[in-house]
Amino acid sequence: MDTPVKQDPLIARWLDMLWAERGASEHTRAAYGRDLLAFADFCDAQCGASLLAVGRAQVQQYLAGKHRRGSSARSTARALAALRSFYRYCLRQGLVQEDPIALIENPKLPKPLPKSLSEADVEALLHAPDTESAIGMRDRTMLELLYACGLRVSELVELSVSQVNLRQGVVRVFGKGSKERLVPMGEAAQEWMSHYLAATRPQLLPPGNSDACFPGRAGRPMTRQTFWYRIKHWAKVAGIEKPLSPHTLRHAFATHLLNHGADLRVVQLLLGHSDLSTTQIYTQVAKARLQALHRDHHPRG
C-alpha cells in the first residue's frame, strides 16, 4: 500500500475494513486508496477542508475537474465508488452526519464490445470435432447449429427433436420469457442436423423415449456447463487461444451477419432481442472490424 495511505489513520482503517469485511484485493485497495488521497488533496488545496467536512458541492466540483482533465468515465466511476464506500463507512462510524455522495449518480459507462471470433476461427472450431465418433458428431452438429442460428446456449441444450423442422429448414426456439421464434438453419447446419438425427442420435440414447435433441448422460438434455466444457475442449484442439464460451458463437453469428450486410432488425429477430438497442451493440463490433480493414488496407488508412 502507498506510504501516504499508511500515514492517514482514517483511510488506513477504511481500507482494512474493505479487506476484512469485503475481501477486497490488494490491487483494489491500492487503487481506492489513491483515489481517496487525490480527493483529500483536492479538499485541502481547493476547499481548505478535511475529508470529513466536505459536502456534495465539493464532490461535484472534484468530479467536474476530473472530467475537464480528460479522465475516462471508468476512472471517474472507480473514484466515485471509492468515495461512496468511504463515506458510508464514515456514516456507520458516526464520523459524519450526512453522506455527500448519496444523491450523486454514477457516470454511464460504455457497454463493452462482445467478444467474438473471426470467420477463420469459427471454421477451425467447427472442424475440430472428430465426426467419426458419435460424441464428435453430436458436438459438431451442436456447434454448426449454434453458429448458424445464433442460439443462446440454454436454447441449444434444451432443444427437442419436435422443435426441428428439417423439411422447412427451421428451428422453433423458446427464448427468454418463453417467447417463441423461428430461426432458419441454413444449408450446412441443416445437412449436419439431418445426418445426426438419422444416424448418430439413436446411438446416444438409452432404451426408452426421449425427445432431447442433444442427449447427454442417460438420455437427458445436456447441461450448459457440460457444453461449455465441450467448447473449451474443441477450441483447444483447434488451436484457438482467445477466451471462448458458448455465447461467443452467438456474438460471432450476429457480427458476421452484419459484416456481410444483414439488416439490423433482421439480426434482432434472429437473436430474439425484444429491444433493438440490445442488438445495436453488434454494430459497434462490425464498425470496429470495418475500421481495422480500412486502416490495414487503405492507402490513407
Contact between 24 and 18 under an 8 Å Cβ cutoff? The reply is yes
Q: What single letter denotes the amino acid at residue 11?
A: I
Residue 292, Cα to own-chain centre: how many angstroms? 22
Query: CA quadruple 206, 210, 212, 218: dihedral positive or negative?
Result: negative
Helices 224-238/134-149 angle, 10° precision: 100
* Residues assigned a catalytic role: 152, 176, 247, 250, 273, 282
CA dihedral 133, 138, 139, 144 (to 10 degrees): 120
**C-alpha dist (Å) from residue 149 to 50, 102, 103, 170:** 59, 45, 45, 9
Q: How many CA atoms lie within 13 A of 133 on its CB side?
A: 6
Contact between 230 and 119 under an 8 Å Cβ cutoff? The reply is no
